[in-house]
Amino acid sequence: MLQTDVLIIGAGAAGLMCAATAAARGRRVLVLDHANKAGKKILMSGGGRCNFTNLYCEPNNFLSGNPHFCKSALARFTQWDFIGLVAKHGVPYHEKKLGQLFCDNKSSDILELLLAECAEAGAQIRLDTAVHSIEKTAGGFLLQSDLGEVACQSLVIATGGLSIPTLGATGFGYQVARQFGHELLPTRAGLVPFTITDPQLKTLCTELSGTSVEDCRVSCNGQSFVENILFTHRGLSGPAILQISSYWQPGDTVHIDLLPHIDLPEWLATQQRERGNSELKTLLAELFTKKMATLLVDSWFSNKPLKQYTPGELKTIAERLSDWQLVPAGTEGYRTAEVTLGGVNTDEVSSKTLESLKVPGLYFIGEVLDVTGHLGGFNFQWAWASGYAAAQYV
Ligand code: FDA
């Protein structure tokens, strides 16, 4: 039978950070993962360049049933700590925008960094290894796995959420939580594109598929983000849409201000005064692409020279462009979602140690917990911070 101090299930972002840190404390650490490669999501992340943290990471960048839960871990391993690690390994990086730090080269730089830290500290990683059962014992836990029986004192669940099953995501962590009497908060896909089925809207999205509109304000349920939106064959995507998707529930209306930096009533009045013979399509083509201006005008308004619009009509145009209201049919779901909202209820886990308040020796870290970050490097920062925090106590 294999024996170890700490057994971590999941060789993803949180699991590898926890493994390296706990092993550096002198703990014997074994990481098991059913996938054939560690850190598959790290490799896929940030379009291949891994947005590994955010300069402006704050607790209010996270959604959770208990918004205070993430504070302790985030304060003890900050973005600056991870940046220090990146610098130690000589990984070149840059800020893309809004504090988002990306690798200059490849996401694999971050995975290699974590694997090097694990190797240096002596943490063992076994891939292609499934866990079949877990049992609580007097001294810890006994697991049946593809490696046979494994006994450990501390068991860390780092199996992530349900997003992108083809990258190895499973509901295993939730299953373990349930087995040990933990409550799960309902899970749903987050940071995910919207699908549209309304025929008129769908045509607009399909026709404009691939078109991006910069710096739109997208709002829902009291939350707003100013970022790009992208029309797709299925509906809407782009950073602002992904962000708001985490706040959206089926049936909710999404509000999109396509031109938040322009005072539209004022702009339209000026155009009417100074360029009254120009058609609406022609003028809007200066704010959007020509194709988008044409499609918007054809779908929403009548096209004529600006001098022919009544004040009421101009008001309607301004309102429609600054508050386009739509109800998405749904989201693309876990197939394309970056994260899973909900998960292990943080009320039953210590925010300091990440240990279960029900079962001593059992820890939950990373995305399996009901802590979900905004887009922009926050989810990895949560993985690093929660992995590091648990590693001090396992
Ligand atoms: P993670 O998913 O990383 O790891 C879980 C591990 O557990 C996996 O290795 C999996 O194989 C293993 N596992 C699952 N079930 C198991 C089982 N039954 N037995 C054994 N092992 C099992 N975030 C960010 O901050 N910046 C970014 O740029 C991106 N980009 C991005 C792109 C894409 C395409 C996705 C899907 C996600 C992102 N994210 C992101 C989100 C980020 O990847 C995610 O929040 C973290 O990887 C979560 O880290 P965890 O360690 O909790 O889970």
- pLDDT 10s digit of each residue in the chain, 394 long? 999 999 999 999 999 999 999 999 999 999 999 999 999 999 999 999 999 999 999 999 999 999 999 999 999 999 999 999 999 999 999 999 999 999 999 999 999 999 999 999 999 999 999 999 999 999 999 999 999 999 999 999 999 999 999 888 999 999 999 999 999 999 999 999 999 999 989 999 999 999 999 999 999 999 999 999 999 999 999 999 999 999 999 999 999 999 999 999 999 999 999 999 999 999 999 999 999 999 999 999 999 999 999 999 999 999 999 999 999 999 999 999 999 999 999 999 999 999 999 999 999 999 999 999 999 999 999 999 999 999 999 9
Give the tokens for residue 132: 């079949």
* Same domain, residue pair 316 and 353: no
Q: Residue 266 sits in a domain of what CATH number?
A: 2.40.30.10
Distance (Å, rounded) from C-alpha 317 to C-alpha 32? 58
Asked which of 313, 331, 349 is the last residue of a domain, the reply is 331
What is the position in ligand 1's atom list of the atom closest to the CA of 11? 9
Residue nearest to atom 45 of ligand 1 (CA): 379
Residue nearest to atom 11 of ligand 1 (CA): 168
Asked which of 331, 357, 373 is the last residue of a domain, the reply is 331
Distance (Å, rounded) from C-alpha 196 to C-alpha 87? 43
What is the position in ligand 1's atom list of the atom closest to the CA of 378? 25
Compute the distance from residue 39 Cα to the ligand 1 centre, in Å: 7
Residue nearest to atom 35 of ligand 1 (CA): 338
Residue nearest to atom 49 of ligand 1 (CA): 13
What is the position in ligand 1's atom list of the atom closest to the CA of 379? 25
* Same domain, residue pair 152 and 18: yes
Residue nearest to atom 53 of ligand 1 (CA): 160
Helix, strand, or coil (residue 123): coil
Q: How distant, in Å, are the alpha carbons of 4, 5, 28, 148, 154 from that of 139?
A: 12, 10, 15, 18, 9
Compute the distance from residue 73 Cα to the ligand 1 centre, in Å: 18
pLDDT of 317-348, one tens digit each? 999 999 999 999 999 999 999 999 999 999 99
Amino acid at 82: F
* Same domain, residue pair 215 and 351: no
Average pLDDT of the chain is 97
Bridge-based pairing of strands 254-257 and 324-326 is antiparallel
pLDDT at 173: 98
pLDDT at 119: 98
Compute the distance from residue 160 Cα to the ligand 1 centre, in Å: 5
Compute the distance from residue 172 Cα to the ligand 1 centre, in Å: 13
Compute the distance from residue 8 Cα to the ligand 1 centre, in Å: 14
Does ipTM top 0.95? yes
pLDDT of 76-126, one tens digit each? 999 999 999 999 999 999 999 999 999 999 999 999 999 999 999 999 999
* Same domain, residue pair 175 and 34: yes
In sequence order, what DSSP letters do the residues of 174-221 get, joined into one string? HHHHHHTT--EEEEEEES--EE---HHHHHHHHHTTT-EEEEEEEEET
- Measured from CB, residues less than 6 Å from any atom of ligand 1 are 9-15, 32-35, 40-41, 44-46, 50-51, 130-131, 158-160, 163-164, 168, 170, 172, 338-339, 366-367, 377-380, 383
Compute the distance from residue 26 Cα to the ligand 1 centre, in Å: 26
* Phi/psi of residue 305, nearest 5 degrees: -60, 145
Compute the distance from residue 41 Cα to the ligand 1 centre, in Å: 5
Q: How distant, in Å, are the alpha carbons of 20, 61, 242, 356, 363 from that of 350?
A: 21, 20, 30, 6, 9
Residue nearest to atom 12 of ligand 1 (CA): 10
Compute the distance from residue 13 Cα to the ligand 1 centre, in Å: 6
Distance (Å, rounded) from C-alpha 185 to C-alpha 279? 53
Compute the distance from residue 317 Cα to the ligand 1 centre, in Å: 44
Give the tokens for residue 258: 């396509």
Burial classification of residue 244, based on how many CB atoms lie within 10 Å of its CB (0-12 exposed, 13-18 middle, 19 or more buried): buried
CB 268 within 8 A of CB 317: yes
CB 155 within 8 A of CB 9: yes
Whether pTM > 0.95 for this model: the answer is: yes
If one counts the domains in the chain, the total is 2
- Which candidate, 50, 15, 212, places its Cα nearest to that of 124? 15
* Same domain, residue pair 218 and 172: no
Compute the distance from residue 144 Cα to the ligand 1 centre, in Å: 24
* Same domain, residue pair 161 and 260: no
Asked which of 331, 358, 379 is the last residue of a domain, the reply is 331
pLDDT at 168: 86
Q: Residue 176 sits in a domain of what CATH number?
A: 3.50.50.60
Residue nearest to atom 14 of ligand 1 (CA): 159
* Same domain, residue pair 175 and 255: no
* Same domain, residue pair 218 and 182: no
* Same domain, residue pair 15 and 163: yes
Residue to probe by mutation, ligand 1, list 7, 45, 103, most atoms within 8 Å of CB: 45
* Same domain, residue pair 209 and 92: no
Give the tokens for residue 295: 């499609």
What is the position in ligand 1's atom list of the atom closest to the CA of 380? 25
* Same domain, residue pair 42 and 185: yes
* Same domain, residue pair 168 and 117: yes
Per the structure, the complete domain to which residue 76 belongs is given by: 2-189+338-391
pLDDT at 59: 98
Residue to probe by mutation, ligand 1, list 129, 338, 344, most atoms within 8 Å of CB: 338
CB 23 within 8 A of CB 29: yes
